[in-house]
Structure 1
């Protein structure tokens, strides 16, 4: 049970270069995993090709690692405050403090991907016999190495990485990572397991590492008392002298066999994804690889085929099953040989896979082992935990570890094309690199925080606009209010159009300082475009709204008269500064022989709406100014057309006047927000519309949506839209230019299908996602058909990088802010508790 010094091979470290006692020099890199998740099969084939390039160019003895560790909470908070001045954003500072406690309660995990490649030897002239004579070790003095020797190792590593390509963006690890990795292995799954070094500067750039000693007790013999018979439990008890009170119980698993008929890609070959999502344990994986060229494989196959032929000749007269067995082997060898003859760029990969499971108790570890075995059975993969080889397999995950017999005993041989289908370096991460935390990732099973950097997107030349879809009560409005609250707390401003009868946005705005609520049916401000906008563009903005309102064509007689009067020349000539002035001038021009008939028609049309729309024609009202932190425009008393009425010509031509008035006012609010927010005033502006078709199905609304989607990143602005049916409402710019998309529960099959296709999911490849969205996304349960608190906010998400995944919206971490956005006037007991346990 004593500590075996051979298990830690490191003799010296120089940056990411590791010098081992055996004279081997390795270079270790962080690997950026490729986005996978719910992407289309064509995208997944691109990921497979990147892995094929990787495996085809790795030197023998390379080690691929996927290390699970606790997410660094400080890293999460650092990303939350990136680009935010907390001295001027007290509300957001309070949100970040509250988020710290919530993140600690959730205890998110992450997976770090590493690649370790051999790049040379410190004593290349020493023969293998000499190493054996010296006990397999040499004395390595890294201080004695010249700069030229170190540059030679670095050059070798650079040449290997150049052949691999830049898909995985390898970054040299700091020297301290080797010590972190060792301490993680000793404490795998136990209380002392260190947090992941994902934050910049989390590990210093030390040039030496101090490796703790530990006792590796295979079979956990110390727990068995004085038993004389050896234990047959495939578990290692790792005890560190300074931390005997928190041992780690670990079990090393390796695939014993893969499906005889092969593994289909995509969907059936990604066997490493099965290990995620196990509670109370930590699961790491490592793959040690070596390759042979196609020419070497073909020569070996010829030799093997000749031997099979000799054996078949020897048993030609024998009546037994052996003849059939030899024929079967010959057929398999022929198929294997043909594969390499047809695919000239192929290579043969010999690989050993170790899945390391660690927990704080033997029971937790063995339960996880049995769970993994059951999961792999469904993939027709048999996992085994070999007795007597546990420590050897444990050591395989250590970079620079010397080869051991167990590595060859449990190796498998496949063509590189099949190996690349394993796609080990992939991630289900969604969201942005920084920004407030809006939820947790449900795809990976690690509950990683989802960041949505809506105010930072412009700095990365990305659009911050977003769109949401889902059925009634699925969480659309809650999500819109969450994003609006975060924008306000980070120093931005928002304008929301509230169509609800109960005034839920008005209720939310009451919790915000410097908020303005406007009811267009009882106006306290004017939306007169001739007064709101700069005189250079005021006439054009007025025409955009007035002509559809009056059912006029720009080229008709009355339409042409309005266009002439509202041109810069007409405005200056007749002194038109308001919509009331326009009516006055038109009525005077009715007696002009040249334009009298057209102006009479125009005056009659204007007269029908003037008295009904004081918000446009009352000059005593002050104009709308969008300088408040929050502006809520209530439109619940306006009659608005349906999406069908807006898109069907004969229905649109028969729209009643009340609906035309409502549409004009709705559009003017959007235009006002565009003029205010798409200006370089140094303040982020968000326009929120819960009735998306009014912004996407009309000419003016489509222009507003397009401008926010195209130019918002240039002017610190974004638009957020919500709809029940994306196939109908999210057209044009809303479909092509809005990158961030969220889909909440949708139980109607047609709407669910439309939502997933709008998200970018190919349902012919993944039809099961339709059932998940309809039946297992925040499902109502029980007699009252209520969604349990712990299941609320589940959704599908597509981020700015087109990665598609599944997550859960958490809401604000502050209890007061969560209560403000999670309840509506007149309802009690419906406030969402932000601190609910995500894992329950």
Structure 2
């Protein structure tokens, strides 16, 4: 039998998010913001469950929950990418946005729109007054004739329900156009031609009425004329639109026949709607219609049922049969069920009907997807069925405002509200920010949504933009650091990167940026002398921070105290000290003055051991470093630097050779210089990039730099980006507690992989399988050459600023020239030939 759209579309009139149906029901529909779920810890997931418990216990009977898979609006992606950026002033980023937009379109990402429809009125009140507005047999309402008082009454009822639910889901009224879009989406489900969802409320939506297209729903696809299969036994609906240019849609409705007898474990075993993502070639929507009863109603009904069971058992007490055992089993279950509600007074009973709608281009494609879904549900011990003869009735359940049909009750299930809350239907695996450049795509959700990382917008949302990266050699850490650096540059910011590579990969990358400055600390063209680099009020303190550890001196005794006195503001002014070379000359003079010979002689001899070795500090003919260039790369490959173990082990640190002390002092000075330049209100975003994280986290000065960028970067438009192989050793203190954005690339060593996931925030006791995914299934090298295929490069785990954890793939720059610059690794000779001269 074919059903016309007039039999299934209940809408008589629409006013904003209010829907008036032919049966006299009035509903209100809202966008629901799903709660972050993904790979979060079990404690966080219990918070999500409690939010759903509050939701279901306060919903009126007949409420409809929807999860609609839709084509992502790429215009929204474009809008998010340019938010907060002056495109007219950032030509490079404009080119990147256009290229990214085209790339996102080619990926064809999907999204899931979550909706909640609640009944807010019936025909016995406001509708009776409206009944005079019905026009003939078409059952339509003149929306313009509805009074504001009527509309306000329904709005108040809806607000009362939402107030009881709470604000975790951030409900937003849908535009009137949403009802028309839903109808068109249902008619074309999986067959192409799906319009972009109106996810933004428009100015004129308050008075917009929908126009619903015509269609015929052919249950059993009888018009296909397949005589080999009886049409009545084909659980498929063929949706035909006579006036549409698109081909018919073949759809099938699944519903749970039974759930596990022993219950479903939360978390990990009850989230049965999460398995619907990632099916290729088809569209999968779900809907759930719910009604609740209070604990008092349930206990009364249970007492009545128990009394009836007792009477039946009395009637069969002399009978020897299996029926007696069955009655005893039912009585025991009913008693346990009743005890649950007596012990939990805040509980309620939920009756719910779930429909999973699958649509595709062909009947075979749809049936294959249905079988794939059934196989997935076997792991949950959920038996799914596609009931013949009830397909259209179940199809109609996803249409807001549909009147109750027999199939809704036939396939309903009853559970306590705390068990229903474990289904957590309104959840998302989304990661990243609400705006900013697209850095990759989401792999965990299965819909390949773009991942935005609003590194320059974070400050406006009172969030830290700092980030940290971990992974093994060749996993993509440096690639990602360069990606973020070039995006900051293209958006009008500046960056300073410390390049430890022998081949100068950052130098090669910076050569693609106009007016980039390259500095080699072993062959300097600029000075890092803190007395010349910083303002007089802080120059002495910065010099002490660098000189005292370098000379192995304490600031309060002997030569260290003498240096502290000379580098105080009074000492600098009194002795006319303007550089470290001046300091050396002053110390040599003071060692001849009676009374302080020993301290100054010791200080002079210590300074004498380094003055020739570190021209970047003591050569006064070099101009001081100026961090006003858009891109600055500091090469430190010729510096000897201590290992993380040497920095954290006291006896090894005390035995550090002079060369490593020099390297540490210069490394820290670069970070301090970036802090002074970037953590100032100069109106320009600044990013400090360090590929050797332990030098910024394990020393006193480096830890202070990391802490300042992490704490105060959002106030001054600045951030720090760090990379390491082992987060358990290197990401301590501020790097662990204050850097919110974390990325984990491939790590095949089991200990380091475990450390990385724990640093990310994953509970490996709850999800031990993630360890194997990180080690073996994240950008895995394959083949004889052990190379990573291009399509698998950049896979990673991510934790965003909202503590959501997911899995994604870094795409890199969309511009071909930028991608080539950060991908290729030069040789040393070529890098030296290209080196720009610093000012």
TM over 0.5: yes
Aligned to 1:194: 195
Match in the other structure for 1:496: 497
Do residues 614 (structure 1) and 653 (structure 2) align? no
**2:278 corresponding residue in structure 1:** 277
* Residue deviations 1:271-295 (CA, integer Å, cap 9, x gap): 0001111011110000001111111
Q: Residues 752 and 773 of structure 1 are in contact (CA less than 8 Å); yes or no, is this contact kept in structure 2?
A: yes
Per-residue deviation, 1:311? 1.4
Corresponding residue of 1:836:
none
Tell me how far 1:230 sits from its aligned partner.
3.3
SS at match of 1:193: coil
Structure 2 residue aligned with 1:707 = 708
Q: Which moved more, 1:719-728 or 1:195-204?
A: 195-204
What is the match of residue 765 of structure 1? 766
Residues 110, 196 of structure 1: 8 Å contact kept: no
Partner of 2:45: 44
Q: Which residue of 2 aligns with 1:562?
A: 563
Partners of 1:144 and 1:73 lie apart in 2 by 37
Which moved further from structure 2: 212-221 or 236-245? 236-245
Report the equivalent of 2:257. Answer: 256
Q: Is the 8 A contact 1:192 1:246 kept in 2?
A: no
Which string of whole-angstrom CA distances, capped at 9 and with x for unpartnered residues, describes residues 22-48 of structure 1?
110001001111111111111111111
- Match of 2:288, SS state, is strand
Q: Map 1:125-144; keep pairs closer than 5 Å.
A: 140-144=141-145
**Farther off after superposition, 408-417 or 777-786:** 777-786
SS of 2:116's partner is strand
Correspondence for 2:834? none
What is the CA deviation profile of residues 747-786 of structure 1, one whole-angstrom value per residue up to 9, with x for unaligned ones? 1111111111111111111111111111111111111111
Residue deviations 1:195-251, cap 9 Å, x none? 233356599555211000011111111112678953411111111112254211111
Deviates more, 1:108-117 or 1:755-764: 755-764
> Counterparts of 1:454-533 in structure 2 under 5 Å?
454-533=455-534
2: CA distance, partners of 1:349 / 1:247: 37
Answer with 398-407 or 297-306: which moved more: 297-306
1:743-758 equivalences in 2 (<5 Å): 743-758=744-759
Distance 1:12 1:280 in 2: 35
Give the alignment of 1:68-147 within 5 angstroms: 68-124=69-125, 140-147=141-148
- Tell me, what secondary structure is at the counterpart of 1:291? strand
2:619 is equivalent to residue 628 of structure 1? no
Q: 1:243-642, aligned counterparts within 5 Å?
A: 243-642=244-643
Distance 1:327 1:135, change over 3 A: farther
**Secondary structure of 1:60's match?**
coil
Specify whether residues 273 and 673 from structure 1 end up closer, same or farther in structure 2 by C-alpha distance, changes over 3 A only: same
The aligned counterpart of 2:808 is 807
Task: Report the 3-state secondary structure (helix = DSSP H, G, I; strand = E; otherwise coil) of the residue aligned with 2:39.
Answer: coil
Q: Matches of 2:781 and 2:369 in 1, distance apart? A: 31
Deviating runs (4+, > 6 A) in structure 1? 134-139
Matched residue, 2:32? 31
Which deviates more, 687-696 or 1-10?
1-10
Counterpart of 2:233 in 1: which secondary structure? Answer: coil
- Deviation (angstroms), 1:378: 1.1
Tell whether 2:716 aligns with 1:734.
no
Query: Contact 1:177–1:203 at 8 Å: present in 2 too?
Result: no
Shift of 1:308: 1.2
Structure 2 counterpart of 1:685: 686
Contact 1:176–1:206 (CA under 8 A) maintained in structure 2: no
Change (3 A) 1:205 1:188: farther
Q: Distance in 2 between matches of 1:199 and 1:143?
A: 23
SS at match of 2:393: helix
> Could you tell me whether the CA contact under 8 Å between 1:21 and 1:137 is conserved in 2?
no
Give a deviation string over 1:99-151, Cα, whole Å, max 9, x none: 11110111111001000000012444999xx99xx999966454443222211
Contact 2:193 2:246 in 1 (8 A): no
Provide the C-alpha distance between the structure 1 equivalents of 2:227 and 2:756, rounded to a whole number of angstroms: 64
The DSSP-based 3-state class of the residue aligned with 1:805 is strand
* Distance in 1 separating the partners of 2:200 and 2:515: 37
Structure 2 match to 1:834: none
Distance 1:822 1:802, change over 3 A: same
**Please, which moves more after superposition, 634-643 or 234-243?**
234-243
Alignment partners' CA distance in 1, 2:667 and 2:514: 25
Contact 2:126/2:150 (8 A) holds in 1: no
Deviations 1:712-750 (A, max 9, x none): 111110000000011111111111110000011111111
How far, CA to CA, are the matches of 1:778 and 1:304 in structure 2? 58
**SS of equivalent residue, structure 1 residue 75:** helix
SS in 2 for 1:87: helix
CA gap of 1:587–1:75, structure 2 versus 1, over 3 A, is: same
Unaligned 5+ residue runs, structure 1? 828-840
Spell out, residue by residue over 1:303-332, the C-alpha distance to the aligned partner (whole angstroms, 9 max, x if none). 111111121122222222111111111111
Structure 1 Cα separation of the partners of residues 521 and 151 of structure 2: 73
Q: Note closer, same or farther for the CA distance 1:125–1:551 as it changes in structure 2 (3 Å cut).
A: closer
Indicate conservation of the 8 Å contact 1:21/1:140, yes or no.
no
Aligned to 2:159: 158
Q: Which has the higher mean CA deviation after the structures are superposed, 134-143 or 291-300? A: 134-143
Structure-2 separation of matches of 1:189 and 1:661: 65
Q: Provide the TM-score with structure 1 as the length reference.
A: 0.96
Deviates more, 1:497-506 or 1:758-767: 758-767
Give the corresponding residue for 1:837: none
Any idea what SS the aligned residue of 2:87 has? coil
For 1:263 and 1:318, locate their aligned partners in 2 and report how far apart those are by CA, in whole Å: 36
RMSD (CA atoms): 1.9
Distance 1:148 1:798 in 2: 48
| CA deviation vs aligned residue, 1:340-377 (integer Å, no higher than 9, x gap) | 11111111111000000011121211111010000001
In the alignment of these two chains, the number of paired residues is 824
Kindly provide the CA deviation profile for residues 492-512 of structure 1, in whole angstroms up to 9, marking residues without a partner as x: 110000000111000100111
User: Are residues 155 and 778 of structure 1, via their aligned partners in 2, closer, same or farther at CA, if it must alter by over 3 Å?
Assistant: same
Q: How far is 1:413 from its partner?
A: 0.6
Distance in 2 between residues matched to 1:625 and 1:647, nearest whole Å: 32
Q: SS at 1:116's partner residue?
A: strand
The CA distance in 1 between the partners of 2:69 and 2:558, in whole Å, is: 72
CA distance in 2, matches of 1:822, 1:148: 63
SS of corresponding position for 1:602: helix
Relative to structure 1, the CA distance from residue 228 to residue 251 in structure 2 (aligned partners, 3 Å threshold; closer, same or farther) is closer
